[in-house]
Each structure stands twice: as C-alpha cells, then as structure tokens.
Amino acid sequence: MAHNAFYAQSGGVTAVINASACGVIEACRRHPDQIGKVYAGHNGIIGALTEELIDVSRESDEAVAALRHTPGGAFGSCRYKLKDIETHRAQYERLIEVFRAHDIRYFFYNGGGDSADTCLKVSQLSEKLGYPLTAIHVPKTVDNDLPITDNSPGFGSVAKYIATSTLEASLDIASMCATSTKVFVLEVMGRHAGWIAAAGALAGQGEGEPPHLVIFPEIAFDREAVMARVDYAVKTYGYCVIVVSEGARYEDGTFLADAGNTDAFGHRQLGGVAPTLAGMVKQDLGYKYHWAVADYLQRAARHLASATDVEQAYAVGEAAVELAIEGKNAMMPAIKRAAGTPYQWHIEPAPLAEIANREKFMPRDYISEDGLGITQACRDYLLPLIQGEDFPPFDNGLPRVAKLAKHRVERKLPDFEL
Amino acid sequence: MAHNAFYAQSGGVTAVINASACGVIEACRRHPDQIGKVYAGHNGIIGALTEELIDVSRESDEAVAALRHTPGGAFGSCRYKLKDIETHRAQYERLIEVFRAHDIRYFFYNGGGDSADTCLKVSQLSEKLGYPLTAIHVPKTVDNDLPITDNSPGFGSVAKYIATSTLEASLDIASMCATSTKVFVLEVMGRHAGWIAAAGALAGQGEGEPPHLVIFPEIAFDREAVMARVDYAVKTYGYCVIVVSEGARYEDGTFLADAGNTDAFGHRQLGGVAPTLAGMVKQDLGYKYHWAVADYLQRAARHLASATDVEQAYAVGEAAVELAIEGKNAMMPAIKRAAGTPYQWHIEPAPLAEIANREKFMPRDYISEDGLGITQACRDYLLPLIQGEDFPPFDNGLPRVAKLAKHRVERKLPDFEL
C-alpha cells in the first residue's frame, strides 16, 4: 500500500537544488504503488513542524520538469537545526504527529552537513518513537564540504561560474592594465573550505595566466607574502588577478573581513574581504584596483550551470527515492568517482552517521606549496565537475523558471509554536 | 590603390567590443582593393603614438572570427584623451608621422563619448595638417550614454546579465527569507546614467516582483524614502531586492559610496555603494542583508551576451568600414530603431560633432514617479536589447576565447614620449 512522502530543502540554496527536487518528485511519480503524494515543506523543515505542506502531486509534469532549470529553493528553505531528541522531544513528537496525520512514511531532506545531522535525527524517530519512517538525505551544498561523497551537487555549477567569471574579468583587466586598473580582486563564497576559490584557478592554465593568486581559508593569510606576489605579478605580467575566499583569515583565526573596518559612525563594518584586500593593495603597493563580490549571484547562476552538476543533482534526488523504496533508512546517495580517465561516476548509498557534522576541507596537496594556488591533483579533481553546459530555456531574453501552483495541504492539527 | 587601416579600442571594454573589432577586420578583408592591411593599436591610441602596431592581417580567419565571442579588448585598450590640436600639436603630428610611415589612411576608433571626441579631433587632421585620413568612430559603451544612437553596443549584454542575475539572486533570497536574509543589494555600473540599473528592473514584471527598488544616479537619494520602501517590501513580500547604481548620490551630488566609510586606519574607504546601502538597512531597519558588487563581471560576461547586442556590435564595425570606403569622414554608424513592434533596427551614419562629449541620461519618463523603478516606456525600450542568446563555444568546461598571434609591425620611427 502506498504512503506519502515529505520533501524539504534546507540551508543555503544552489543553482541545482531544484534539479534534485525534480529528481525526487519524478522518481516518486514513477512508483505510485509505493509512494502516494509528495508533500513539500514550505520553508523546509519548518513547514513540517508548522504543518505548512505544499501538495506537489497537484503540480503539472511540466512545472515539475521546469524545476530542473530553476535556481533557488522552489519550496522555500530555512536555516533551522533540530537539537537532539532528549532536548527537543516536543519538536520530534510534533513531526511524528504531522507525518501520521498526513500518512507520511518517506522523508527526503535536501541539504548540507547540518541538515544531514537533522536528517539523521529524524531517521531515528522510527526506532525511538515507534513511527515507521524512512529518512534519506539528498546532498547539496555549494561549499563542497560534505564527506564521503566525491563532490556535492551545487558545487560544480558555482565552480563553473567562478572559473568563467575569473576568465572573463581577467580578459577585461588585461586589456586595461597599461593605463588603468592593475589589480582585480574577486571574492567568492566558502567560509571554511576553499573549494570555490580553488575553482577560480581553473581560469588559468600555466605560468602567468590569471588568476595569479588564490587565497584559501585553509591557509593563514600572510600580508607580506601576498603583497610581494601581487607586486611581482603586476611588474611581470602588467596586472594581477586575485580570487579570495570570504573565509580568508589570519593565523589567529580572525577573518580578514572582520578585521577592523569601521563605517562613518565608528561601527564595525562587516563583510567584504574583497574591498579589505583591495585596500591593502592600495596602501602597501599603491596600485589602482577593482573588486567584485559575487555573493548570491554565484550560487544562483543557473544560466551557467555545469551539465555534470545538473545531472548529478537530479540523480541523487532520484536515487534517494530508490533507496527509500528499498527501505534503506538513514542513508545518503553519495557520488563516487571511478579511478582514471575519462571521468566516470556512479551513486552509492552512504550511512548518514558518517556524514552528519563533518566538513571536508581542501587537502593540503590540492594547494600549491606556497599556499597561493592549486596543484595538478586539484585541477584533475575539479575539471570534470564543470564539464558541459546546461543552459535553461529563455523567454523574452530571460531564463524561464518554474511557476508552481503550490497548493497548500489542508491542515489537520492545532498550531505549533516553534 | 589600397591603403592601410588603423583600428584601436578605447576606454572601458565590454563583452562585445571584440565583436566590433571582428566586424571591422572582416569588412576590411572583403575590400582588398581599397584597404590593405589592418593595424591595431597596442593599448589603443597609445599604440599609434608609440608606434606599437599589431599586424592584424597576419591573424588567421579563425582567430579573427573568434573575436566575436571573446570579451575584453583583444588588442588592449586605454584611457587616454587627446587634448585639442592647438595644445597638443606634437601628439597630432606624431600620429600623422606614424600613419604616413605605415601608409594608414583609415582610422577606426572603437569607444564611448570621450573617445568620440578623440576621433573627431583625429578626423580634423586631414584638413588641419594636410594628411588624407578618413576617421570613423565605432560606438561602444556599457553605459549606454552615447547620444544619437538608439543604444550603444555593449549595453545590451550587460543589461541581459544584470536582469538575469537579479532574477536568479531574487529566487535565492526568496527561498531563504523566512529564517535568514531579508534584503539583497546588487550594485551595478553606471557612474552618471542609470541605464544598467534600469535593466535590473526587467527581472520583475509586476506588483511585488523583485527587484523592489532601483536606485538611479539621476534621482537624488532620499534615505528615509528608500528605507520606508525597503521596510514595506520586507513586511509585504517577506524580502526586498535592491538594484543600485554605483553612481547613486545625494541631493548635493555626493556619491553614497564616498560618503564617509573609513578603514581601520581612518583612511577614507572608496567604492562600495552596495555595502554602504546594506549598512543603512541594518542600521535603520535591523534586517539581515547580503550584497553583491558585479563590477567587471558584468561587462565581461560574454557567456551571457545578448544576441541582439552581438549582432549590432558586429554591424557597427562592418558599417564603419563601408562608411570609410565611401569617404565619409568624421562619422559614426548609429543604431536607429524603427517605430512600432516587432523591434527593428538599422544603421545610419551620424556626424561625430553631434556625438562627442555628450551624455545621454535616462529620460525622466523612463523612471517611475517615485523615482525607484522603471516605467512601461523604459521596459519597451530595454526589452528588445536583451533578446536572444549568443553563447560562446566552450572547451573543457570554459568559454573558448580568441588566441591572437599579435605580430608587431616593424617600427620605422624614433621613440616618442607620451
């Protein structure tokens, strides 16, 4: 007999998290004997707690298919981490009430490391609270910091966007450097891990090709060494392109972005490694600079998604449903890379207990000895992930995005305070 | 008998200035009876003054064709404005020496308003210094502020990029706003004219659709009114997206970006309307914010060029050569829009004297009455310019760009000090 499924998006969204949603929903539709309706949480897990459910079964096949090329989180995401069952028993009991009220027996949670922890806790409900639930985590994070899986869906598209943007902006500054800007700084995401910054390095392929420096959170920032390299690049190549991670930090752990900028009122000014670093360049070397902060643009840039990433994002969604149907509780479909070339990948289930709350940083041998670039091993790892283009359809000059009806499921339970 | 041509790129580069170069070069190659070799100035007009010429005739047809999809200025650009002939007679005489030494009788100058002024002055050499030269200006500027022409090549692609990025980032913040970021600020180029900011408004189409505010340089910034609107958007739609021009300024003309930020050392911090505005939001309303500064990324984003823009950029390059061959000195091929729909355009020559040193600002009736959005008239003007996609070819996950040999022409003259 078929039971219903619950799907929720969690944490920072990506250009392809909706492709995973598409994979989950389409796979559920292919198994009407096991899975009845798919309900999506409005704003993630909060939607389950507050019983704000979107009836995805009422969306047309076309609208669901369009999720594959729509960035952002179509059902709403949230940053909300459930504490352990002992501390927050009321919340877990509420989840079960909602699941029971709507005959939900499958739980698909689409998120990163923190979310994997939530999913793991939900997967334990079955045992601890005696409700039959199969919980599967669908991996997603632009930060690429999930363990076990070879890469995280969402990352490949940011990587392609940052590598392309670095290449394009480098051509711009190269044309202007004789009489104008000498240094260009691009700030990219990655508070703890430098994977996205590393992707910027794909824009150049050899000695002197931009970017001339990559600044990782994993390597303590050494102002003198960085400025010496910037000066060298400007004197040797005429200009210098720097890709810097938002998480760049000093030896003592202080973020560059937090280190002392104040506004007109003396308030500490948060954010902006790029302007901070550009200011140092001006101060120490006197060069004219430009800087860009890609922020949400990078993780929403579905127009330049990696086809490999889109395919993998869809595949982990689809695989999550297959695992659930096989009764594999507390698992995550992980991407495994086969050894050798050409690049080949497949999906293998991994136990959530090995994934939750662990971060995967750049291995030291992916970062060049001087700490300011990537190695061939890193390039070999990254390049397959940005392969292929998967341009969305365009209408009237702009990308077409999914228009969902988002019918709400009728509520059956009393209100619940978060 | 055939004479040689000189081509130079000037001022800030664009995603499609090389498409104009491609148009000039390919058109010259189609007229071997009139035009011999094409020499490009290395770093713009400076290359002519210093006799650093690139022999474009030695580039393969394939390399020249690849210029059509390569951003930046392939031959190098510069910010260098020739003063009037009376003041800088030596420079003009030097130009003629170089032109004479290399049998250059056609001068194609690819730039914006300042460059049109230089081109106009060069066009007067023929008469004032008795050297037979035909000078044609090839329009280019992301700022879209050239007069006479309906739009400027380079603008349509930035407009498409900013509209798309605004759409994508808006989907991102819309998914997160329930528990996280409420306000997103995107800073775009346009120091004097708000055309690029206006393009951001194409992302939304009706009441409540993001962006909720557009801040133009043409409208004095009123902090209270802006904050009231931001607050309204957050309270009504859950979030607020703002597109702000780098040229946003107060009633007294002070740029927001210059208004008082200081770094840790008390130095005035330049640049960054987006962080400044985001800081105001935090201070006045307390909302969590994110901000992005697109900077060079926007004007180099050839991967998302408007097909209309690419076509027009090529066409003005080609038309410049036709005009030169017809002996039309001191002209610029301008884009003319036919009345009515569907959008149709053609090229008409316009006298440089009417173009040089004039800026075209947003007409007041393109900006909504409250000064924080665009009107239907503006939308009707902008939409045709972002139509069509012209994706570059990709190799190994990244856009393919032109690889030029850039053979230098042998110098025949003594050095010249700029």
- A143 is known as an active-site residue: yes
Q: How far apart are CA A194 and CA A217, in angstroms?
A: 6
- The pLDDT of residue B163: 98
Q: Is A238 on the interface with B (CB under 8 A)?
A: no
Please tell me the least confidently modeled range out of A111-125, A303-317, B13-27, B310-324. A111-125
pLDDT on residue B259:
59
The pLDDT value given to residue B119:
94
Confidence of residue A263 (pLDDT cuts 50, 70, 90): very low
Q: DSSP string spanning A170-223?
A: HHHHHHHTTTS--EEEEEE--SS--HHHHHHGGG--STTPSP-EEE-TTS---H
Provide the strand spans (E) within B48-161.
53-55, 104-111, 134-139
Cβ under 8 Å to A: B residues 83-142? none
Q: In this predicted model, what pLDDT tens digit does every residue of A61-104 receive, in sequence order?
A: 999 999 999 999 999 999 888 888 888 889 999 999 999 999 99
Does B192 score more than 80 pLDDT?
yes
CA distance B386 to B186: 19
pLDDT at A128: 87
Active centre residues of B (catalytic): 143
Question: In CATH, what is the architecture of A3-141+303-357+389-399?
Answer: 3-Layer(aba) Sandwich (3.40)
Mean pLDDT for all residues in chain B: 94
Any known ligand binding at B244?
Answer: no
**Same CATH fold assignment for domains B3-141+303-357+388-399 and B155-300:** yes
Catalytic residue among A33, A55, A117, A143: A143
B53 assigned binding-site residue? no
> Does B391 contact chain A (CB < 8 Å)?
yes
Is pLDDT of B303 > 60?
Answer: yes
Q: Residues of A numbered 51-70 whose beta carbons fall under 8 angstroms of chain B's beta carbons: which are they? A: 70
Domain boundary assignment for chain A: 3-141+303-357+389-399, 155-300
The domain made up of B3-141+303-357+388-399 has a fold known as Rossmann fold (3.40.50)
Nearest residue in B to A288, CA atom? B270
Q: Chains A and B: how many Cβ contacts under 8 Å?
A: 239
With cut-offs at 50, 70 and 90, classify the pLDDT of residue B22: very high
Contacts of A179 in chain B (CB under 8 A): 43, 46, 78-80
Residues of A whose CB is below 8 A from B262? 261-264
Yes or no, beta carbons of B43 and A178 under 8 Å apart: yes
- B12 in contact with A at a CB cutoff of 8 Å? yes
CA distance A186 to chain B (A): 9
pLDDT of residue A268: 46
Average pLDDT over residues B246-256: 93
What angle, 0 to 180 degrees and rounded to 10, lies between the N-to-C axes of helices B113-123 and B89-101?
A: 70
pLDDT for A271 equals 60
Query: Does B266 have pLDDT greater than 60?
Result: no
pLDDT-based confidence at B358, cuts 50/70/90? confident
Q: What average pLDDT does chain A have?
A: 94
Contact: B12, A386; criterion CB under 8 Å:
no
Transcribe A348-407 into DSSP letters.
Answer: EEEEGGGTTT---PPPGGGB-TTSSSB-HHHHHHHGGGG-SB-PPPEETTEE-------P
Q: Give domain A155-300's CATH architecture.
A: 3-Layer(aba) Sandwich (3.40)
Of A276, A279, A290, the CB nearest to B295: A290
**Residue range A19-49, pLDDT digits in tens:** 999 999 999 999 999 999 999 999 999 999 9
With a cut of 60, say whether residue B260 has pLDDT above it.
no
What is the model's pLDDT at position A216? 97
| pLDDT value of position A259 | 59
Phi, psi of A75 (to 5 degrees): -105, 5
A296 touching chain B per CB within 8 A? yes
In the structure, what pLDDT confidence band is assigned to residue B262 with cuts at 50, 70 and 90? very low
Give me the residue from B77, B163, B170 closest to A175, CB to CB: B77
Is it the case that residue B338 has pLDDT exceeding 60?
Answer: yes
- Return the pLDDT at A366: 98
